[in-house]
Structure 1
Amino acid sequence: MCSRYLGFILLVWFPGALHAQSAAQPCPAPSLDRGYFVPVQGTYSHDSKLTYACESPLKPAVEGWWAGSVCQNGTWSPTPRCIEETACIPPTIANAKYTEASDGRYKDGDIIRITCDKGYEHKANVATARCRNGTWVSLPTCEISIKSCKAPPKAPHAVIIDQGYKELFPEDAGVKYKCEDGYSIEGSHNYTLFCQAGIWTDGPMCSKETGRGGSAEAGTSGGHSTSSGRGTQPGGGGGGGSGPDIGLGGSADAGTVGGHSTSSGRGTQPGHGGSSSTSANRPLLTTIEHCGTHPIVPNGVVVEEQRMYLKFKCQAFYKQVGEGTVTCFSDGSWSEVPVCEEAFCVLKPGYYDRSSKVSVAMYINEGEMKHIPCVWRDWSVAVRCFNRTITHTRCCHRDDHYWRYCT
């Protein structure tokens, strides 16, 4: 009697154990059309395994002529299935995704389109694959984009927050840093770096916060400095009255002896025996709206506008010299813009080979060839633009065995 009550109490205390036992459901024997499997049983317990094969001309819906499946809580995984030999199974493509067939197979001639994960791009611009006689033809691959960034840089006295560890960051991704206790950046404890064209933007440095009694990095003795670098109270027993613009015995630019320094190097209230140092402020990359009006590239147009950059492309008959991606700096200036140089020839009106006449000026791209009709039908002159110079052949007929010299 006592043991019966004890069992009841255990079930009340541990309902999860009873649920876990009931959740692991057995699997019925798989329905495998034109296939066979071992071992043959009526039901299979959870985690049981079986092996199957298919009758010719069918094949398993996985790689190889035989396959395995595992009973997982009442369901076979993967589902045992026999498909046509000319069908394709879902391909495995790293760092990519695509719409998978509902029945786990693709018919001969089916085409799939691959979408690369963020931070990756299609190698050789190949994005589709075709199932041909049971094999995928020209299966795409996704490689790391040249615009992506590897792990962000290590920053002294700061740690990355709100980010799980990743080895790759797509373009325009941002990582937020937080200064450790006792350090800040002009009154703030957080700042963000962005991945821009494969490079992380420059960031500020977390500096020791200043306070009464001196600063380790601002270099004062007994005085305060604010985010603008202006001293407030005198140190070393001085009164509250106003003092000279520079420290006693110090210099306005270096701010070394007896005064406080600011980011511009100007001392304020006098101190006693303190020293300070300044650091050059390098412009940082920022959003393009900070720079205002877009820069002008003669014979070039903006083909892409993102939060952190503009991308230019030269118009027809011009070639680009320099980087097409333009960014904005925190001082309001733009990075160097590309130059669009002429890359064409002008075929002037007139006769060529005395039998081919050009009525109006014709523009030809660098490296391009055009055929100018001669007075006779199916005869033409081949005109080329090379090093911005026009060259041309004689009139040739398409059936002439010398035609290869006219192309």
Structure 2
Amino acid sequence: MYIRYLGFLLLIWFPDLLHAQSAKQSCRTPRLDNGYFETVEIYPDGQSLIYACDKGHKPAVEGWWATSICENGNWSHTPQCIDEKACIPPNIPHAEHNQEQDWYKEGHVFRVSCQKGYEHKDRNATTTCSNGAWTLQLVCEKTSSACGEPPKIPHAVIINQEYQDLFAADSVLQYECEEGFTVEGVDTKKTIICISGNWSTVSPCRSTGSGSTVGVTNGGHTTSTKPTGRGKETRPSTGPDESTVGGRGSTGSGSTVGVTNGGHTTSTQPTGRGSSTTSGSNDRNSQPLLISIGNCGDRPVIPNGDVVETGDKYLKYKCVAYHELVGSETVVCYSDGTWSQTPVCKESFCVINPAQFAGYNIQFYGSEYMEEGERKYYNCGWQYFSSLFECTNQRLSVTRCCHYSDHRRGQCKTLPLASG
């Protein structure tokens, strides 16, 4: 009787625990065409299923056998056997593509785009499935114009971007000073830009109280305390409070304050070995001041280009298809009301004219365009034979019809008419 009540109490006290235990679902035996495995009617959660494929087929993952795991009622990957000449998706770090399939038929052309800050190695953007393997290993490598992580700015945080270790050229980051600090004594926010592999000059965050005149009462006399290059300088004064001399408050860091001392007005400044400078002036002159784009008039118009992103102080452009952007994709507004230099969208493609290749048995569907750097295989009428077309510097390079194995070894000769 006691055990029965104990079980009832546990059911009341720990319903979430019991629900979590019962939520784990088993998996049913999957259907596997052209393959085999040890058949079990029900696979508990966490149970592995190992399978292999019949001759002429292979698993839709790496290896000649594969393992799928039951994960709460679903298999970690659907066990399936595909034609041995098909290909599974290539693994290309820092690449993006919209062809999300488990596998691809022979002859499929796989195209990728590299993430921002990366570019195609040797301008190769496509690869073709041929006899179970990809004809080319695509690589996305860091561009020379990209920047690493931005410099650490004391008393500031980046506010418009999550952390990453690589940024594309023309990336604009905004940072904000912590409370009690400003940039150049005015703003709490500032931007830095990635330009040709380097970050633009950073204006530091300075304390709003740095270098200010502080009135100190000492034995009935008012003294002025200033930071100097060799410690603090304290001078007695019998005049009015120095924070409101001449009817004006302290000008803050680097300011000159008139002090009345025995009927004479003296000037005290923060110094470094006697020199008098205005703090922050060099920082302001080291880089153009950026302001809101609303102060620069009409937006620049770029033929064959469009604005794809708008910020408070910048515009970002992108070219239409078959055009290449030359120059910085980011245009900013300067404090004098002018725009920074705008980029240019130049033509960047090749045209395939089937008539030019008459007699070579290459199969076309009419005139076609190829983007700069694109590689594409065209069938030649015989199984496993194709011709490789490449667009480089707006000129076509075309091989004769070759077997896929010769393509992989680079033994296919170039047609003499392809350079025209």
TM-score category of the 2 structures, normalised to the smaller one: 0.5 to 0.7
**How far is the alpha carbon of 1:301 from its aligned partner?**
8.6
Written as runs of structure 1 = structure 2, the 5 A alignment for 1:280-299 is 280=282, 281-282=284-285, 283-284=287-288, 286=290, 289=293, 292=296
Written as runs of structure 1 = structure 2, the 5 A alignment for 1:210-225 is 210=209, 213=214, 221=224
TM-score normalised by structure 2 residue count: 0.58
Q: Given the superposition, is the C-alpha separation of residues 176 and 79 from structure 1 closer, same or farther in structure 2, using an over 3 Å criterion? A: same
CA contact (8 A) 2:296 2:339 kept: no
* 1:60 aligned onto 2:59: yes
Q: Give unpaired runs (5+ residues) of structure 1.
A: 215-219, 224-234, 247-258, 312-319, 339-406
**How far is the alpha carbon of 1:213 from its aligned partner?**
1.3
Deviations 1:75-122 (A, max 9, x none): 2222111000111111111112223354x2211111222122233233
Identity of aligned residues (%): 41
Written as runs of structure 1 = structure 2, the 5 A alignment for 1:196-215 is 196-210=195-209, 213=214
* 1:13 aligned onto 2:13: yes
**Whole-Å Cα distance in 1 between the matches of residues 54 and 331 of structure 2?**
62
Q: Given the superposition, is the C-alpha separation of residues 324 and 51 from structure 1 closer, same or farther in structure 2, using an over 3 Å criterion? A: closer
**Whole-Å Cα distance in 1 between the matches of residues 14 and 336 of structure 2?**
66
**Whole-Å Cα distance in 2 between the matches of residues 310 and 173 of structure 1?**
9
**How far is the alpha carbon of 1:330 from its aligned partner?**
4.3
Q: Given the superposition, is the C-alpha separation of residues 136 and 240 from structure 1 closer, same or farther in structure 2, using an over 3 Å criterion? A: same
Moved over 4 A (4+): 240-246, 259-263, 287-294, 300-311, 322-338
Higher relative contact order (CA 8 A, sep 6+): 2
Deviations 1:179-219 (A, max 9, x none): 344322224433332334433222321112125617xxxxx
**How far is the alpha carbon of 1:291 from its aligned partner?**
8.3
CA contact (8 A) 1:291 1:334 kept: no
* 1:23 aligned onto 2:12: no
- The equivalent residue for 2:190 is 191
**Whole-Å Cα distance in 2 between the matches of residues 333 and 268 of structure 1?**
37
CA contact (8 A) 2:208 2:252 kept: no
CA contact (8 A) 1:99 1:112 kept: no
Deviations 1:1-38 (A, max 9, x none): 34333322322232221222122111122211121124
Q: Given the superposition, is the C-alpha separation of residues 170 and 81 from structure 1 closer, same or farther in structure 2, using an over 3 Å criterion? A: same
CA contact (8 A) 1:130 1:137 kept: yes
Q: Given the superposition, is the C-alpha separation of residues 65 and 324 from structure 1 closer, same or farther in structure 2, using an over 3 Å criterion? A: closer
- The equivalent residue for 1:33 is 33
SS of the residue aligned with 2:192? strand
**How far is the alpha carbon of 1:128 from its aligned partner?**
2.1
- The equivalent residue for 1:71 is 70
- The equivalent residue for 2:269 is 275
- The equivalent residue for 1:88 is 87
**Aligned residue type for 2:174:** K
* 1:121 aligned onto 2:145: no
**Whole-Å Cα distance in 1 between the matches of residues 44 and 82 of structure 2?**
27
**Whole-Å Cα distance in 1 between the matches of residues 160 and 13 of structure 2?**
40
**Whole-Å Cα distance in 2 between the matches of residues 324 and 16 of structure 1?**
54
Q: Give unpaired runs (5+ residues) of structure 2.
A: 216-222, 227-235, 261-265, 271-276, 318-325, 344-419
CA contact (8 A) 2:51 2:65 kept: yes
**How many residues matched?**
299
**How far is the alpha carbon of 1:126 from its aligned partner?**
2.4
**Aligned residue type for 2:71:** Q
More strand by percentage: 2
CA contact (8 A) 1:245 1:267 kept: no
Q: Given the superposition, is the C-alpha separation of residues 293 and 66 from structure 1 closer, same or farther in structure 2, using an over 3 Å criterion? A: same
Q: Given the superposition, is the C-alpha separation of residues 179 and 52 from structure 1 closer, same or farther in structure 2, using an over 3 Å criterion? A: same
**Aligned residue type for 1:132:** S
CA contact (8 A) 1:221 1:273 kept: no
Deviations 1:203-257 (A, max 9, x none): 321112125617xxxxx9469xxxxxxxxxxx955337996799xxxxxxxxxxx
SS of the residue aligned with 1:286? coil
CA contact (8 A) 1:97 1:115 kept: yes
Q: Given the superposition, is the C-alpha separation of residues 269 and 332 from structure 1 closer, same or farther in structure 2, using an over 3 Å criterion? A: farther
- The equivalent residue for 1:144 is 142
CA contact (8 A) 1:37 1:53 kept: yes
TM-score normalised by structure 1 residue count: 0.59
**Whole-Å Cα distance in 1 between the matches of residues 338 and 196 of structure 2?**
18
Written as runs of structure 1 = structure 2, the 5 A alignment for 1:7-406 is 7-38=7-38, 40-102=39-101, 104-161=102-159, 163-185=161-183, 186-210=185-209, 213=214, 221=224, 236=237, 238-239=239-240, 267=256, 269-270=258-259, 274-276=268-270, 277-278=277-278, 279-280=281-282, 281-282=284-285, 283-284=287-288, 286=290, 289=293, 292=296, 308=314, 329-330=334-335
